[in-house]
Amino acid sequence: MGEVQQSVDTVRSIWPAYSLEQIESMLCATGAPFEMEEVVIRGVPTRTWKNVPPTLAALAHIARSHGARCFTVHEDERVSYDAFFRATATLAHALAARGVGRGDRVAIAMRNLPEWPVAFFAATAIGAIAVPLNAWWTGSELEYALRDSGTRLLICDAERHARIAPHLSALPDLTHVIVSRTSQPIEGAELLDTMLGDADGWAALPDTELPEIAVEPDDAATIFYTSGTTGHPKGALGTHRNILTNILSTAYASARAALRRGDMPLPATPKTLLLVIPLFHVTACNAALMGAVFGGSTLVFMRRWDTVKAFELIERERVNSTGGVPTIAWQLLEHPERANYDLSSLETISYGGAPSAPELVRRIQAEFGCMPGNGWGMTETSATVTSHVAEDYQHRPESCGPAVPVAELRIIADDGVTALPPGEVGEIWARGPQIVAGYWNKPEATAATFIDGWVRTGDLGRLDEEGFCYIVDRAKDIIIRGGENIYSSEVENFLYDHPAVTDAALVGLSHRTLGEEPAAVVHLGPGMAATEAELQDWVRARLAAFKIPVRVLFCDDTLPRNANGKILKKELKALFDQR
């Protein structure tokens, strides 16, 4: 980094001190921490970070090197990195002893608990494929993902087990169930606490090595489910390289921000992060968790989001970073008790996963005195494609930032071929080492979405002359409520199942802090009757709570459609403004 220091010493003038291209040439030079190399991934030459760990097992060994540093804080439980590794190695051997091997699916269904990363690293270290399941899902939703993935072994907490238990007879591939956080015997299941003991006691487990299993960077490591526009969720098949790319992609953003203002990037130091988004999302698992483990940072978990509790944890643990979705940032800003807590340790509040207002960017800096951060990615990109922090974000609050150096973005016209110039709107395509291998057991969907290393994101956007990306709309029929994806067709299909409903559509209504909320418009059959509450309860019994329409409007006629028979949802949104 000597050449970088010399350059910085000569440039301390007006912002930005360096262009993005100049910064990339400095930070990604041969021998630099962010050096890149080209490798062939599924037949496509691809730029990659040279210095990321090759596999999740290698990252687990890096975790071990952090020793007594605190890894996770959950209520009164504190787990060191050494204790985490001991528990991970113990569980990895236990999984292997139960016949779990390369390519077998190990599902994880639990809220954020210290055992979540233990289960994740234990499974992936032995070459198995971790399948993180949405803890909000109903029993039937969990059953679908377990059956679709062909999960062999499930690790879940007691609450999720209670939801899944009535569906176990429909899952012939599921041969082992391990339940955490209960001391009561459960028929047909083993108890994780019997295998590992309480989290407070993991430091006393044997200092065991991980099983010696040959795993390569492009081997499958995860299946994260992302809801599909045709109803059923699709499993995005991620590799070790996909996930671990996030480590340097995240770190690069901080180094770039320093150079943009003419400062020398500081050496990375461990931080304390309040993680309030679920680990079953790629943002939390692939971006936050991987970076924390690599750098020896501390993750503070919350049982459920509560703004005052967050204030207490920030003050008590001297939290440096938090966020997740704009909703959380708004609540931190606007809660009336904020002034009663010492929040001066906060350095960054970052978020993604939902639209955010430019006002939010300005207020984070003005009222917290810390840097805002944003970015864009999706399940199919294993999280980070673009990053946007500090002054760059303040100057372009409507943007989600430029692509990280190992990624590429293109804006493609409606013909699916023509690359559009800066300023023009089209579908965003992304390429890089973080793009997943495809959809699990869905070759047609894979072929339609993944093309020669590129992923068709379904998002509509534009690039400016410097490469900053602006999301302007979504091509997919999706509503994002506080960072949770709601695919309209899934909710609509259940509304259609109601005996009184003959026509239905779900639309997204703007919400200042959540981004959007789902609302339904329905037409009832002749002589049929239903109330708003009845239809909300109907959906509640079948889908996760965040998918329930907050409002239901009834139309006397069938819903308006265009010449191709597609419902005109823009017209339906206007109905809510009139009532």
- Of 431, 449, 474, at which residue does a domain stop? 474
Question: Which amino acid would we find at residue 390?
Answer: A
Q: Is 310 part of any domain?
A: yes
pLDDT of residue 349 exceeding 70, the answer is yes
Is 199 found in the same domain as 167? yes
Q: Is 227 part of any domain?
A: no
pLDDT band for position 12 (50/70/90)? very low
Do the beta carbons of residue 260 and residue 17 sit within 8 Å?
A: yes
> Smallest Cα–Cα separation from 210: which of 81, 71, 56?
56
Q: Across 123-137, 222-236, 359-373, 493-507, which has the greatest mean pLDDT?
A: 123-137
Count up the domains in the chain and report the number. Answer: 3
**pLDDT score for 355:** 58
> Smallest Cα–Cα separation from 196: which of 115, 79, 277, 286?
115
Do the beta carbons of residue 474 and residue 443 sit within 8 Å?
A: no
Is 457 found in the same domain as 487? no
Each residue's pLDDT tens digit, 255-273: 999 999 999 998 889 999 9
Alpha-helix runs per DSSP H in 150-229: 158-164, 192-196
Each residue's pLDDT tens digit, 392-401: 998 998 899 9
Is 470 found in the same domain as 390? yes
pLDDT of residue 460 exceeding 80, the answer is yes
Share above pLDDT 90 across residues of the chain, in percent, rounded to a whole number: 74
Q: What is the mean pLDDT of residues 349-374?
A: 83
Q: Is 226 part of any domain?
A: no
Mean predicted lDDT score pLDDT of the chain: 91
pLDDT of residue 75 exceeding 90, the answer is yes
Rounded to whole angstroms, the Cα distance separating 447 from 116 reads 33
**pLDDT score for 579:** 64
Q: Is 223 part of any domain?
A: no
**pLDDT score for 179:** 98
Q: What is the mean pLDDT of residues 229-257?
A: 91
User: By mean pLDDT, which of 447-461, 484-498, 523-537 is the weakest?
Assistant: 484-498
Q: Which two tokens stand for residue 370?
A: 């810390």
**pLDDT score for 342:** 97
pLDDT of residue 5 exceeding 60, the answer is no
Measuring CA to CA, how many Å separate 249 from each of 88, 252, 407?
Answer: 26, 5, 9
CATH code, 254? 3.40.50.12780
**pLDDT score for 452:** 95
By CB atoms closer than 10 A (0-12, 13-18, 19+), residue 356 is: buried
pLDDT band for position 354 (50/70/90)? low
Q: Is 54 helix (H, G, I), strand (E, B) or coil?
A: coil
pLDDT of residue 486 exceeding 90, the answer is no
User: By mean pLDDT, which of 228-232, 437-441, 476-480, 538-542 is the weakest?
Assistant: 228-232
Is 133 found in the same domain as 248? no
**pLDDT score for 359:** 79
Is 136 found in the same domain as 97? yes
Q: Is 406 part of any domain?
A: yes
Q: Is 66 part of any domain?
A: yes
* Helix, strand, coil percentages, rounded to 5, for the chain: 35, 25, 35
Is 189 found in the same domain as 280? no
- Of 474, 504, 534, at which residue does a domain stop? 474
Is 430 found in the same domain as 310? yes
Q: Is 148 part of any domain?
A: yes
Measuring CA to CA, how many Å separate 121 from each of 118, 247, 271?
Answer: 5, 16, 21
- Of 448, 474, 500, at which residue does a domain stop? 474
Is 496 found in the same domain as 426? no
Terminus-to-terminus CA distance in the chain, angstroms? 61
Question: Which amino acid would we find at residue 393?
Answer: Y
pLDDT band for position 413 (50/70/90)? very high
Torsion of CA 463, 464, 470, 474, to 10 degrees: -40
Contacts of residue 380, defined as CB under 8 A and 6 or more positions apart, other chains included, come to 226, 236, 435, 436, 449, 450, 455, 457
* More confident position, 235 or 354: 235
Q: Domain limits at 526?
A: 480-577
Is 496 found in the same domain as 468? no
Is 564 found in the same domain as 467? no
Q: What is the mean pLDDT of residues 210-217?
A: 96
Torsion of CA 472, 393, 46, 218, to 10 degrees: -90
CATH code, 530? 3.30.300.30
Is 431 found in the same domain as 459? yes
Q: What is the mean pLDDT of residues 173-199?
A: 95
Q: Is 96 part of any domain?
A: yes
Contacts of residue 138, defined as CB under 8 A and 6 or more positions apart, other chains included, come to 163, 542, 543, 544
Q: Which two tokens stand for residue 135?
A: 């803890």
Q: Which two tokens stand for residue 579?
A: 């009532």
Each residue's pLDDT tens digit, 526-549: 888 999 999 999 999 999 999 999
Is 389 found in the same domain as 263? yes
Each residue's pLDDT tens digit, 300-346: 999 888 899 999 999 999 999 998 877 788 889 888 899 999 999 99
Burial profile 160-177: b = 16 or more Cβ within 10 angstroms, e = fewer? bbebbbebbeebeebebb
Q: How many CB atoms lie within 10 A of CB 462?
A: 19
CATH code, 165? 3.40.50.980
